[in-house]
Amino acid sequence: MSQEIINIIQSSKVTQKTLETRLTDPIKNKEYPQRYIFVLLKKYISDFYKQGTEPRMLGLAGLRGVGKTTLMWQLAKFSYNNVSKNIYAFNINALTSLGYNAMEVLEILQNDILKQRFREYKEPVIFLFDEVHDDENWAKTLKILYDECRTSFVIATGSSALLINQTADLATRMKIEKIYPFKFTEFIVAKSLFKESYSFNHPEYGKAYEVLPAPKEIAKHLKQALFFSENYEHLRNSLQKYIIHNSNFLNYFAEVEKVFEKPVLEAIKEYVSYHNIPRYSLYQNKGDIHASILELVKRIVYEDVARTQPDYTGTQYEKLLYRLAASDEVNPDKLSNTLGMKKEELEKAIMILDRSELINLIMPHTQSMDAKLNKNKKSFFMSPSIRRALLATIYGSNVPDAARSKMWEDIVVMYLCRVVGKSFISFSSEKEGVNPDFIIDTRDTPILLEVGTRKSTTRQISQYKKEIRYGIVVNAAATQPQFIDKDRTLVLPLAWFLML
């Protein structure tokens, strides 16, 4: 038995010191802020050990850099303080680089550390597997661990491209939670945490905070009003009741301007262009951000995505991403000729990029599934910062306004995917008449949604020929909502939309 592997396993036991090291910024000496999804994830752990409820295996899937590992360690701290100090954490990338795999480690853990087989083990135990996809047999290993160790809670992080494409057997055991880029309010929390001498005090919270939290219940009320109102009058009444006259909500934007020492729209531009991926929260130099994001993209397409389809090369994916960055419309005939790929290969590659969550692929609005598959589609980047980095490579610093405007749509689509789900989002592609940006199919009649930097006209909505509930124009330059009663349309500031 190699003493090296035994030492590795023994050192994998989580301690208070380990948690402090993993969760505290070494320069600022401040603990990293929690993502909003943390509340849900810690409930899974608590419910399992209190009530025996499922799930008891979580997969944290998302783009590289969105904070999956930090979130895993925050869950470890919660477990350490509230459930059990019996926690083992394994970095699979480090293990494989030394020539070991997860199955070997778990066998030695049973035989030489615990001195007991998992099926006989009665104590609560939490297992953490970071970058689990780096073990080619990870799914089989976690399935065996789940079945054998009934007192365990398992948390694994991995690339969306690889973790979501799990085996059928594991799909019934592992609950996949998608970890998205920062919401705007999460970005504000991170920004205010690391700003020197900032203290936020508000009657709603009752005490001073060193971070700026979003007003309570605003996201819930906003979601219900915007996407689930029965009609335009209900939408207007709901916003007036819960949002428009909420002083805590309105004061929030004044506090944002204190944090940034600039107007809210400038803070939003920084968020959209550079700081929606948590890894780059403390980066200041735009060139460094672009270079790092391009390297991140290369790792995704050459390592993660390419491993799902060995017959494709990373070069094909990379070229395709550059084309998609310059235009949101996916025209298979035109793109296949440009990239030298068969149409079927191109469509498959685009679907793989969508499943990897590098892009959000949106289908045309139609009742026929065959028509959806055959028509052109639209792609939006999961992170507008990725589009920005790709555009900088194409255009340098002089990115065309039309290309920049796609970044606003990227962030809106990312929010829509989180809030209502991708299957409820489509776009209009009528040959005649106007075509609003998005159609939201909640309730029985759809909502139309337009996005723009200074867009306040409601023409795209008022001239739409089919029945709708109401329209929403998300306007980046607006500071106050405006109700256009004759067109049953709300002009909503982007800053307000980003509170969802």
User: What is d(CA 320, CA 85) in angstroms, rounded to the nearest whole number?
Assistant: 47
Whether residues 67 and 150 fall in one domain? yes
Q: Is residue 349 part of a domain?
A: no
| Cross-strand partners of 377 | 330
The number of distinct structural domains making up the chain is 2
Omega before 263 within 30 of 0, i.e. cis? no
Please state the φ and ψ torsions of residue 280, each to the nearest 5 degrees.
Answer: -105, 20
- Tokens 């050192």 correspond to what residue? 11
Residues 169 and 207 in one domain: no
State whether 188 and 113 are in the same domain. no
Say whether both 228 and 106 belong to one domain: no
Strands 359-364 and 377-381: antiparallel
Does residue 128 sit in the same domain as residue 143? Answer: yes
Q: Which amino acid is at 258?
A: K
**What is the chain's pLDDT, residue by residue, as a tens digit (500 residues)?**
578 888 888 999 999 999 999 999 887 788 999 999 999 999 999 999 999 999 999 999 999 999 999 999 999 999 999 999 999 999 999 999 989 999 999 999 999 999 999 999 999 999 999 999 899 899 999 999 999 999 999 999 998 877 776 666 687 899 999 999 999 999 999 888 877 655 555 555 544 456 788 888 999 999 999 999 999 999 999 999 999 988 888 889 998 998 888 999 999 999 999 999 999 988 889 999 999 999 999 999 888 887 877 777 788 889 899 999 987 677 888 888 888 888 888 888 898 899 888 999 999 987 554 444 556 889 999 999 999 999 999 888 788 877 788 999 999 999 999 999 999 999 987 777 778 899 999 988 999 999 987 656 788 888 888 899 999 999 988 999 999 999 999 999 999 999 99
Q: Which of 178, 210, 228 is the last residue of a domain?
A: 178
CATH number of the domain enclosing 98: 3.40.50.300
Domain ranges, residue 250: 184-264
Q: Give the domain-ending residue among 178, 203, 236.
A: 178
For strands 482-484 and 489-493, give the pairing. Answer: antiparallel
Instruction: Pull the structure tokens for residue 467.
Output: 């029945």
Q: Are residues 137 and 243 in the same domain?
A: no
C-alpha–C-alpha distance, residues 279 and 64, integer Å: 9
Is there a single domain that holds both residue 41 and residue 147?
A: yes
CB atoms within 10 A of CB 459: 12
State whether 55 and 163 are in the same domain: yes
Predicted TM-score (pTM) of this structure = 0.91
Q: Residue 300 and residue 290: Cα distance in Å, rounded?
A: 15
Backbone dihedral region for residue 14 (phi beyond 0: left; psi -120 to 50: alpha; all else: beta): beta
